[in-house]
Structure 1
Amino acid sequence: MRRLTGVIGAALLVVGSYDPALARECGPGTEGSNEMERQVVLGIGGLFVRSEDPAALTAWYEKHFGINRTPTSYDEEPWVQEEGPTIFAPMPNDVAMIPAGKTWMWNFRVADIDAFVAQLEADGIAVELDPETYPNGRFATVIDPEGNAIQLWQPMAPEEPED
């Protein structure tokens, strides 16, 4: 198990643990097979929704459902569900990461983003792989047939600051 702590973009933080072996356990290849092991998503890494008043909506969910606000520092804990970390992040209606006319975006955690991107591209799906490695991992974006954005996230632990 690896411990995750990091920043998504400029504002989101994830703390939790995951087991990258989960993806390997679900591959279709059999012993002795030359078939490429298919990648599977490990879980939901976040749900991003548009909101007229993100602060008010965040406060309402925190009050009524116990979902922590999106952390703004490494000292704050995010909402963590069983089997993996999840970010709850109401966003302004004009946020660029969610396509116009859509109100949400998936974020799926994956064990190996390069293998997952290669798998999608081999299936004829366009993928935009972010060339930057962030303190909490790597990202890629896919658009589904309905025009909904899907963000793939390979979590990584940030480097510890030197003393």
Structure 2
Amino acid sequence: MARVIGLGGLFFKASDPAATRAWYADVLGIEFEPWGGVVFLPADAAAQPGAGTVFSPFSADTGYFAPSDAPFMFNLMVDDLEGVLARAARHGVHPVLRTPGEANGDFAHIMDPDGRKIELWQPRPMA
């Protein structure tokens, strides 16, 4: 159907990512994975295999959010990445980065009108 189906992730810059993760672990009980984030799985994981919401602090000097200078980036899960990109193109919005065939699915980055980077993700069921 080529639409957004959920929030795939919230990524934000932190001056000390390890201390930030420790704070979220201590205060909110979030158990981070060794790669630096956590994946919150949907209540009905069978409805969208491979989907989940990632919460992850990044180093303050990360280049991953570029060309945006915003201190955060979000990821939106989509059901048809090519369809969503076609719709975006009709509005003059084109990807600044595409990474198809990743282990977790297909990704594309676009910019919103205020210069925030949005990562679009079509999940792939995990092995």
Q: What is the TM-score of this pair, normalised by structure 1?
A: 0.64
| Structure 2: distance between partners of 1:121 and 1:70 | 36
Unaligned runs of 5+ in 1: 1-23, 25-38
Q: How many residues align?
A: 118
Of residues 138-147 and 62-71 in structure 1, the stretch that sits farther from structure 2 once superposed is: 62-71
| Residue 97 of structure 1: aligned partner | 64
1:34-84 Cα distance to aligned partner (Å, 9 max, x none): xxxxx3211111100001110110111122112231454xxxx73336576
Moved over 4 A (4+): 81-84
1:86 aligns with 2:47: no
Greater RCO structure (CA 8 Å; 6+ sep): 2
Report the residue type matching 1:61 in the other structure. Answer: Y
1:1-41 Cα distance to aligned partner (Å, 9 max, x none): xxxxxxxxxxxxxxxxxxxxxxx4xxxxxxxxxxxxxx321
Unaligned runs of 5+ in 2: 45-50
RMSD: 2.1
| Residue 137 of structure 1: aligned partner | 105
Q: Percent identity?
A: 33
Contact kept in structure 2, 1:70 and 1:89, CA below 8 Å: no
Report the residue type matching 1:92 in the other structure. Answer: S
Contact kept in structure 1, 2:11 and 2:74, CA below 8 Å: yes
| Structure 2: distance between partners of 1:105 and 1:81 | 21
**Deviation of 1:141 (Å):** 0.4
1:90-136 Cα distance to aligned partner (Å, 9 max, x none): 10111112135311001000011011111100121122352531111
The counterpart of 1:150, out of the listed 114, 118, 125, is 118
Report the residue type matching 1:120 in the other structure. Answer: A
1:59 aligns with 2:22: yes
1:82–1:146 distance in 2 versus 1, CA, 3 Å = farther
| Structure 1: distance between partners of 2:65 and 2:97 | 16
1:53–1:110 distance in 2 versus 1, CA, 3 Å = same
Q: Return the index of the structure with the highest Cα Rg.
A: 1
Q: What is the TM-score of this pair, normalised by structure 2?
A: 0.81
- Secondary structure of 2:26's counterpart equals helix
